[in-house]
């Protein structure tokens, strides 16, 4: 029932938008840094910050450790919350060096639950950031839930009670095959659709999910900041 609905939605999104080929990064550590930098920021601004990191030769744990915090903050300035994000990148870089000798292969070879626990123990890495790293950098099967996912689930009447991160994640993981490629494209497609879904209106007439949109609510409560 739910499984069929989720697969139907996936097929509609894929037919409408095609494969998204996420994550837009050249190597795993870039995914990790990008996952932190994109927290509550537009990807356009994140791209600028990542370009700055590349230009400064700072897109590696070792380089980040050497960089003075104020300099790093200036480099990631375009994507907002620059002081907080600079500190988060520093914490990640130091942790990778101390515990894994900067060997991402060793980190990513861990069992999913252990890996998730490790990532969540770090300052600045919450559920969505950890799961983005696990799926898009470690290539292990876990479903990423973000504000877009919750908003779309609400529109089509599939949002679990309370819309907690875990409940939304379980909705997908309990009803879909545990497949990295499927989880990868599904989340990317939800983001692709979400970018065109207004917070204040139901799905528009052109939306590929319009015929199953059940949401009478005009206002979105998923966003808490500002």
- What residues make contact with DNA under the rule CB under 7 A? 22-24, 34-35, 38-45, 48, 77-85, 122-130, 132, 136, 146-148, 162, 191, 194-195, 199-200, 223-226
- The residue among 12 and 192 lying less far from DNA, judged by its C-beta, is 192
Which residues touch 63 (CB under 8 Å, ≥6 apart)?
56, 57
Question: Closest approach of Cβ 176 to DNA, in Å?
Answer: 19
How far apart CA 72 and CA 56 sit, in angstroms, is 9
- The residue among 3 and 117 lying less far from DNA, judged by its C-beta, is 117
Question: Closest approach of Cβ 54 to DNA, in Å?
Answer: 17
- The residue among 3 and 199 lying less far from DNA, judged by its C-beta, is 199
How far apart CA 95 and CA 99 sit, in angstroms, is 6
- The residue among 160 and 194 lying less far from DNA, judged by its C-beta, is 194
Q: Under a CB-based contact definition with an 8 Å cutoff, are residues 130 and 120 in contact?
A: yes
Question: Closest approach of Cβ 220 to DNA, in Å?
Answer: 7
- The residue among 70 and 157 lying less far from DNA, judged by its C-beta, is 70
Percentages helix, strand, coil for the chain, rounded to the nearest 5?
60, 0, 40
Backbone torsion region of residue 89, taken as left when φ is above 0, otherwise alpha when ψ lies between -120 and 50, otherwise beta: alpha
- The residue among 11 and 196 lying less far from DNA, judged by its C-beta, is 196
How far apart CA 134 and CA 23 sit, in angstroms, is 12
Question: Closest approach of Cβ 123 to DNA, in Å?
Answer: 5
Question: Closest approach of Cβ 62 to DNA, in Å?
Answer: 23
Which residues touch 164 (CB under 8 Å, ≥6 apart)?
none
How far apart CA 5 and CA 62 sit, in angstroms, is 46
Question: Closest approach of Cβ 96 to DNA, in Å?
Answer: 16
């Amino acid at each position: 029932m739910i499984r069929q609905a989720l697969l139907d939605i996936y097929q509609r999104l894929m037919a409408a938008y095609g494969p998204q080929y996420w994550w837009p990064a050249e190597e795993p550590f870039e995914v990790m840094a990008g996952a932190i930098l994109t927290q509550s920021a537009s990807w356009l601004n994140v791209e600028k910050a990542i370009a700055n990191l590349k230009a400064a030769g700072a897109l590696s744990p070792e380089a980040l450790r050497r960089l003075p915090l104020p300099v790093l903050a200036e480099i990631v300035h375009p994507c907002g919350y620059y002081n907080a994000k600079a500190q988060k990148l520093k914490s990640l870089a130091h942790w990778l060096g101390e515990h894994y000798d900067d060997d991402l292969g060793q980190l990513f070879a861990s069992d999913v639950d252990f890996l998730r626990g490790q990532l969540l123990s770090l300052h600045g890495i919450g559920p969505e950031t950890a799961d983005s790293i696990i799926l898009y950098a470690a290539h292990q099967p876990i479903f990423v839930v973000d504000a877009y996912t919750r908003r779309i689930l609400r529109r089509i009447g599939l949002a679990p009670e309370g819309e907690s991160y875990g409940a939304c994640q379980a909705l997908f993981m309990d009803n879909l095959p545990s497949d990295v490629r499927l989880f990868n494209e599904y989340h990317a497609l939800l983001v692709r659709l979400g970018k065109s879904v207004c917070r204040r209106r139901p799905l528009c007439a052109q939306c590929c999910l319009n015929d199953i949109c059940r949401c009478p609510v005009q206002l979105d409560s998923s966003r808490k900041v500002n």
